[in-house]
Structure formats: C-alpha cells, structure tokens
Amino acid sequence: MSQPMLEFNGLVSGYGDTMVLRDVGGAVGPGEVLGILGRNGVGKTTLMKTLAGFIRPQQGAITLNGRSVLPLPPQNRLRAGMAYAPQENVVFGDLSVHENLWLHLDDHDESRYASCLSHFPRLSERMAQRSGLLSGGERKLLSFTRSIGLRAPLTLLDEPTEGVQPENIERMAGVVRTQCSSGAAFVIVEQNLAFLLSVATSVLVMDHGQVQLDKPISEVSREALEAFLMV
C-alpha cells in the first residue's frame, strides 16, 4: 500500500452505552479501494458513520492525509476531502433528480456529472422527476452519481449496489476504477462479492465489531471471503 490517504486505528464506537466497534483499524491510499465485508449487523455501517463524523468514537484515531479529522463535523470532513454516501436515506425524496445533484453546490459545472450520466442515462431522462418516485436501485445510482460528482479525494460508499441492476453495477465498477486511476481512494461496504472483487485492492472483514481479516485482495481467495459471510 502507498502512503495512506485515510488511516484509522483503535476505534471504539457505538450508540450510547452500546459499543459496536472494538479496536477497529484500517487504511487506504491514493488509487486504492478498501472493501469492507461482513455479515449483517457486524458493525460495517457503524464504522462508516464513525469515519464520516456522524458518530464520535470513544477511543481511537482517524486521519486524512496525516491530519486528525476527529474534531471535524461531517460537513467539514467533506470540505477536507471526504465524501460519504450512506446506506439509507440516500436521496431527498421530495426534490427532483436535478435538485438532488445541484442543491448542495455553488457552481453548475456540468462536467462533474458527465461521466456518470453517460453511464446511467436513466437519470438524465428523469432530471425533472421527484426522486422519491425512483426505484430503489435508481435512488442508489443517484446517490452514487452525486458522490462521484463531489470530486472528493476519498469517497465512502455504504452498500452502493443494493437494488441496482447487474449492468449498472458493472458500470459503477468502471466508474470507481476510472476514479482510482486518477488517484482517488474509496472505502466501500458491500455485500455483492463480485462487485467488491472487481474494484477492491484490499479487504477488511468484520465480525462482532472486530476486524477478522485485513489483507490485500491478491492474498485472499474468494472462497475464504465467502466463508466469512456464511451464517
């Protein structure tokens, strides 16, 4: 791995008195994808919310390009270069597709979305439509496109392919690989093992709020990863 863009160590985090994460650590460098894998309920989303600033850990460190982001709220982490697409509530349902893409931006630079919209023309066709009327998979595509358009050096994606059609999942993978070729980094929580294997450079497997495996993807077999997902 190159010099980490994002590094987190010793994270202990959760909700109130309930600790979900126990001494969780990992890292991802420029041009790399860290895949987060594990069964439902093992702490993957809690980790993403902690990294994004929506949960403050009780212990541990999170650095972005060598600087701690622990004091920063989510909006300031975005300004520092960390974008986040959550698993739930991925779009503003009462707003149009166009408003979801542009409401949070000061400019109207069409080029920021050109690549994604060329891959997902359905979104272009529905610019005036209320986002709440999109299918679940289309809402995920909108969230993904909005996150890519932020042009953040680091993007956190929580279950980005959930409900997305297979051909669009392949296009999402292509977008991620293109972004990485320009030096961007990703942390991706994903249950779709085929998608994860197609983009990840390293994988972190979680169980019961702890790290069970943290290795380059080249050093672990698909069968080994599948075994972690078995109930």
Q: Residues 125, 123, 165, 228: what is their CA dihedral angle, to the nearest 10 degrees?
A: 180
Quick check: helix, strand or coil at residue 206?
strand
3-state helix, strand, coil in the chain (%, to 5): 40, 25, 35
Torsion, Cα of 132, 136, 138, 141 (10° steps):
110
Tens digit of each residue's pLDDT (9 = 90 or more) over 29-64? 999 999 999 999 999 999 999 999 999 999 999 999
Lowest-pLDDT range of 68-72, 122-126, 181-185: 122-126
60/20 Cα distance (integer angstroms): 13
Q: How far apart are CA 120 and CA 218, in angstroms?
A: 30
- Choose the weakest-confidence range: 62-71, 82-91, 164-173, 183-192: 82-91
Whether the per-residue pLDDT at 90 is higher than 60: the answer is yes
Domains and CATH numbers, the chain: 6-229 (3.40.50.300)
Q: What is the dihedral of CA 201, 38, 147, 100, to 10 degrees?
A: 160
Check whether 125 has a pLDDT greater than 70. yes
In this predicted model, what pLDDT tens digit does every residue of 169-226 receive, in sequence order? 999 999 999 999 999 999 999 999 999 999 999 999 999 999 999 999 999 999 999 9
100 touches 142 (CB < 8 A): yes
Nearest to 81 by CA among 155, 145, 147, 14: 155
Q: Is the overall model pTM greater than 0.85, yes or no?
A: yes
